[in-house]
Structure 1
Amino acid sequence: MVPYIQTILAVQESHLTDELAANINTAFETKLSIFHSPLPETRNTAGVAFVINKALLNAEKITFEEIIPGRAILAKIRWHGNTTIKILNIYAPNDTANNEAFWEKLRDLTSRKPEWKPDVLLGDFNVVEDSLDRLPCHPDNASAVAALGELKSHLNLIDGWRRTHPDKREYSHTQSSNTSQSRIDRIYISNDLLAPASDWKIDPPLIETDHWLVSANITTPEAPEIGRGRWQIPTYLLENEDVMSELNVLGKKTLYNIEANKYRRTDTTNPQTIYAKFKTDLVRTCRTHAKIIHPTITNKIAKLKEKLIKETTTNY
């Protein structure tokens, strides 16, 4: 499972050694930076890691702390202005007793060290709070769920995806042995960050894995409001033969008019006004086609997602 927050990926079951992590950091030193925490005395189990996109974030201004080796690491990130955001990446034990003890230990640690309290808690929880998050539906161990609930209350965090989709059923993990499914991969967030957060998603990854991608776009409440920006031609229009044919004709007509009026320039007819009209006509043409093509693409994507969900639940 690899949830991400903007330019940050949080990885669980990373199975990284210090040597392998160093090799990756060296090979991609201009593009990304990895901080990882392996489970002591093991190589092929557990482990958590953060992957930082150095093209979009200054990795040198991020500090990391191992809270529980191989199970929980904390990233403190300089955010907007002088504010920081703290993200706790966890990989909870699968065993019920150890799972319960894990939440209790995190609560104890964050009580003794308030500076470790995160704004965002994410990862593979290996437990769900509601039977709605399992297929077939069934409740998880009450003691483990209660321990997680106490930690959430202590940290003042809420399940952002469930709050955004209160009645929706989607799953992030498929059990290979019996094809049962669950939403054990989640992102918890503080109340202050919930309002400006958006794009809560569970999507299939580009690589073959039994976990899907859980993601959200989280913005600081103190950030200035940013509008939609300038309109851009959708890339799918540039691959449409009808659209490109019309734009080609429009471009040739513009070049002809510029050449024809080269020596009889007026205030209303000159290369600048002709080119300005070309841009206006080009945008109008693209917008007209986009209104026709975009709904078709959106409906196709929605049907494919619906088909995918149905196929993953056919056994039930």
Structure 2
Amino acid sequence: MMTDIKVISLNVNGLNNPIKRKKILLKLKREGGYIIFLQETHLSKEEHQKLERIADAVVFSSSHSSARRGVAILVRNNIPFQVGKLLADKDGRYILVEGKIEETEITLLNIHNPPEQGPELMAKMIALITSEAKGTTIMGGDLNLIMDPKLDCQYNVKHKAEKTSALLKRAEAEIGIIDVWRKIHPNERDYTYYSKAHNKYSRLDYFFMFKSDLEKVKQSSIGKIDISDHAIISMELTLAIEKGVSTWRLNSSLLNDIEFKKRMATTIKQYIEINDNGEVSPLMVWKGAKAVIRGEIIAFSSFKRKQREKERNNLVNKLTILQEEHKNRSSKQILDEIDEIKKRIDYLDMEKIERELTFAKQNYYDSGPRAQKLLAWRLRRQNNKASIFKIKDRTGNMLIKRSEIAKEFVKYYQKLYALEIQENRMEKNLKVFGIYHSARSNGRSKQSSN
């Protein structure tokens, strides 16, 4: 099955603050990324592990000895990713992960090229993907360079990382890597970074892939500069994988909503009046009630969510228009309007974070790695360990796709239970035969004694 997978990259400019960390993860969730590159996390190895608990993802990271730099790759738990090789920089500048998503080989290389870094790091990265990359290869992150000063910089000026840019351009010609966004938008001007100090926009964040993999790319885009000083960059790939399914859970914050409680009371009352008539068993009434209640909760939650998203989308659209205007005409008035809209968006995000903290009980988690091991975290790890990524069928063939694994289990248990039924019948027949044989033997004994 061909599935679209969204890949995201963002320089987060620090995740030490728990509130900012939650805001960033909320934004990434809203963007719908399945594979996420983060730069400048400023987290230690232990702090990176926290991301697994609140992001519902497997995290691969590289940290610096001090609270700076740091990169991480997040792969959502509903993507069946199997790690083959992991290469991490001790200075927190890059991490390479090579593995498989079902039968598809994939290599992920996340880079943060510090501004003070010379061309040596990029030379190492080019050598790395040349020697280590397998299958579909994605190299991306905050490269802190400008590939084309005429299109990638607001004022058409040279960037100090000119030597690094030249090295990357040579790699494009020699090993066939390509700037994905620029390939899809050859003459477009857009930027991923805004410097308040210099009042200047630049495109510093990139995705590179081999030309042979470009046919898998559906689209590539640059987002808004809002929660960080960098914009999210994203692209959608079409890969031969199957997505997992999620489990529905009640959002307990709804129990404090007066409108919700009134609506549910009316729904339950109407259901009981119609169905609890003495003709239907209590068990069936209860089972039907659960389905009706769940459907009503989902409908109400969807209505409320759409209301909030409509307001937020209107603000984001207004922010987009103002930022485009500011890119073409620097004005303090426009900048002030941008800041006001960002504050309003931030307020809406904070409301959602509060709901999610109540929902997921993440307030216990924030006490750090030495905190109590939450039941939710244990269950998530337990479920992950219990997941089956591959099995051998009866003929010895390796099965990797989830649908094939499920079918093989169905066949196995059908055969197993059919065998048990046959054994039970045989045992019953033997018992009957034993009784008949015993009766005949007793009859013969009586005849011989007479």
What's the TM-score, normalizing by structure 2?
0.46
> What is residue 280 of structure 2 aligned with on the other side?
none
Distance in 2 (CA, whole Å) between partners of 1:72 and 1:149 is 20
Are residue 310 (structure 1) and residue 325 (structure 2) matched? Answer: yes
Q: Shift in Å at residue 48 of structure 1? A: 0.6
Distance in 1 (CA, whole Å) between partners of 2:33 and 2:174 is 26
> What is residue 35 of structure 1 aligned with on the other side?
60
> What is residue 73 of structure 1 aligned with on the other side?
95
Query: Cα RMSD over matched residues?
Result: 3.1
Change (3 A) 1:181 1:72: same
CA contact (8 A) 2:87 2:97 kept: no
> What is residue 51 of structure 2 aligned with on the other side?
24
> What is residue 230 of structure 1 aligned with on the other side?
none
CA contact (8 A) 1:120 1:187 kept: yes
Distance in 1 (CA, whole Å) between partners of 2:47 and 2:99 is 24
Change (3 A) 1:204 1:77: farther
2:193 to 173, 176, 184: 173
Are residue 123 (structure 1) and residue 141 (structure 2) matched? Answer: yes
Rg comparison, structure with higher value: 2
After TM superposition, where is structure 1 displaced by more than 6 Å over at least 4 residues in a row? 298-304
After superposing the two structures, state which structure 1 stretch, 154-163 or 209-218, moved more.
154-163
> What is residue 52 of structure 1 aligned with on the other side?
75
Change (3 A) 1:130 1:115: closer
Q: Where do residues 1-316 of structure 1 align in structure 2 (5 Å cutoff)? A: 2=10, 6-25=33-52, 27-28=53-54, 31-39=56-64, 41-43=65-67, 45-54=68-77, 56-59=78-81, 61-63=82-84, 65-69=86-90, 70-79=92-101, 82-95=103-116, 98-110=117-129, 113-115=131-133, 119-131=137-149, 132-140=151-159, 141-204=161-224, 208-220=227-239, 223=240, 305-315=320-330
Q: Shift in Å at residue 196 of structure 1? A: 2.7
> Cα deviation per residue 1:257-308 (whole Å; 9 max; x = unaligned)?
xxxxxxxxxxxxxxxxxxxxxxxxxxxxxxxxxxxxxxxxx99987863443
Aligned partner of 1:179: which letter? Answer: N
Distance in 2 (CA, whole Å) between partners of 1:93 and 1:116 is 26
Distance in 2 (CA, whole Å) between partners of 1:114 and 1:153 is 19
Aligned partner of 1:65: which letter? Answer: L
> Cα deviation per residue 1:129-166 (whole Å; 9 max; x = unaligned)?
10110111113343222122234445421011111111
CA contact (8 A) 1:64 1:73 kept: no
Distance in 2 (CA, whole Å) between partners of 1:74 and 1:118 is 13
Aligned partner of 1:11: which letter? Answer: L
Aligned partner of 2:138: which letter? Answer: V
> What is residue 378 of structure 2 aligned with on the other side?
none
Distance in 1 (CA, whole Å) between partners of 2:166 and 2:327 is 30
Distance in 2 (CA, whole Å) between partners of 1:153 and 1:89 is 21
CA contact (8 A) 1:6 1:217 kept: no
> What is residue 285 of structure 2 aligned with on the other side?
none
Change (3 A) 1:86 1:153: farther
CA contact (8 A) 1:93 1:102 kept: no
Q: Give unmatched runs, 5+ long, in structure 2.
A: 1-8, 12-27, 242-312, 332-450
Distance in 2 (CA, whole Å) between partners of 1:167 and 1:147 is 22
Q: Secondary structure at the match of 1:195?
A: helix
Aligned partner of 1:78: which letter? Answer: K
Q: Secondary structure at the match of 2:178?
A: strand
Q: Shift in Å at residue 78 of structure 1? A: 1.6
Change (3 A) 1:85 1:130: same
> Cα deviation per residue 1:221-247 (whole Å; 9 max; x = unaligned)?
xx49xxxxxxxxxxxxxxxxxxxxxxx
Q: Shift in Å at residue 7 of structure 1? A: 0.5
Distance in 1 (CA, whole Å) between partners of 2:187 and 2:38 is 27
> Cα deviation per residue 1:24-68 (whole Å; 9 max; x = unaligned)?
33x338x222221012x222x1111011211x2135x13452243
Q: Secondary structure at the match of 1:147?
A: helix
Change (3 A) 1:197 1:108: closer
CA contact (8 A) 1:185 1:214 kept: yes
CA contact (8 A) 2:60 2:73 kept: yes
Q: Give unmatched runs, 5+ long, in structure 1.
A: 225-297
Q: Shift in Å at residue 211 of structure 1? A: 0.5
Aligned partner of 1:130: which letter? Answer: D
Change (3 A) 1:33 1:173: same
State the aligned residue count: 230
What's the TM-score, normalizing by structure 1?
0.64
CA contact (8 A) 1:100 1:148 kept: no
